[in-house]
Amino acid sequence: MEILVCVKRVPDTAENEFELNSAGNDLDRDDLVYSVNEWDNYAVEEAIQIVDKVGGSVTVITVGDDESEEVLRREMAMGANNGILLSDDAFEGSDGKGIATILKTEIEKGKYDLILSGAQADEGAGQVGGMVAAMLDYPYASLVNKIEVKEGKIIVGREIEGGNQEMNEMQLPCVLSIQTGINEPRYVGIRGIRKVASVDIPVKGPGDLGLDAAIVGKAGAKTRRVDYFVPDTGEGAEMLEGATGEIIEKLIEKLKAKGGL
């Protein structure tokens, strides 16, 4: 089975302390560390496990700047066979639809049975997977937490609000967005990354894709971020401050006072 996994490089929520930039329309990005979006990591692990079982190959793809190559290498160190970096100045400032358009153009050039993405990204809107499916006219399932491969089709499990589980049979090719917890992604150490350090990763721009640069990037974006802020503390909400121990003590006191304990 030929599987394509769309991944994204994001600031790591576990390893950063986020502050807004002076303009107030984005994070202060100096001093941030980046990694592959957590959901995407599960998608790649799932793809590798499927290929281990039924054969085929895994390709990881991302739309981003030069530095995005780092996350492709990490996923290749995990076991993905190929990487494709879609990168060009013209892609900068793309909205969700723009990203989906870029991805779709490259996906059409290959012959993939299964396309995976993360259910959402740390700083994303959870929209690209669905859009790619629509653009390709492929069936789509979101928030997938189980995949079983059958002949020519797959059984896909989805977690439903309230802890229920739904199972669907889907025809291939299709697009799935993967939920965390579907598997336990394997560890990638520095050694693994060094092993794939010299593997060639093709970089493609609008020319290589045969894509009209005007419909993507800032120019083609029909959605534009106008503000970015930490919401004001509302009525009834109270932030407890101090060392962890003090916060816990204060919380217990409050819960006791209100009869919660």
Tell me which residues touch another protein (CB under 8 A): 12, 14-17, 31, 33, 35, 78-79, 184-192, 194, 243-245
- The CB-of-115 to another protein minimum distance in angstroms stands at 24
Give the nearer residue to another protein in terms of CB position, either 139 or 192: 192
Give the nearer residue to another protein in terms of CB position, either 163 or 189: 189
Give the nearer residue to another protein in terms of CB position, either 12 or 159: 12
SS (HEC) of the chain: CEEEEECCEEECHHHCCCCECCCCCCECCCCCCEEECHHHHHHHHHHHHHHHHHCCEEEEEEECCHHHHHHHHHHHHHCCCEEEEECCHHHCCCCHHHHHHHHHHHHHHCCCCEEEEECCCCCCCCCHHHHHHHHHCCCEEEEEEEEEEECCEEEEEEEECCCEEEEEEEECCEEEEECCCCCCCCCCCHHHHHHCCCCCCCEECHHHHCCCHHHCHHHHCCCCCCCCCCCCCCCCCCCCCCCHHHHHHHHHHHHHHCCCC
- The CB-of-35 to another protein minimum distance in angstroms stands at 7
Give the nearer residue to another protein in terms of CB position, either 5 or 216: 5
- The CB-of-181 to another protein minimum distance in angstroms stands at 10
Give the nearer residue to another protein in terms of CB position, either 233 or 244: 244
- The CB-of-220 to another protein minimum distance in angstroms stands at 34
- The CB-of-62 to another protein minimum distance in angstroms stands at 19
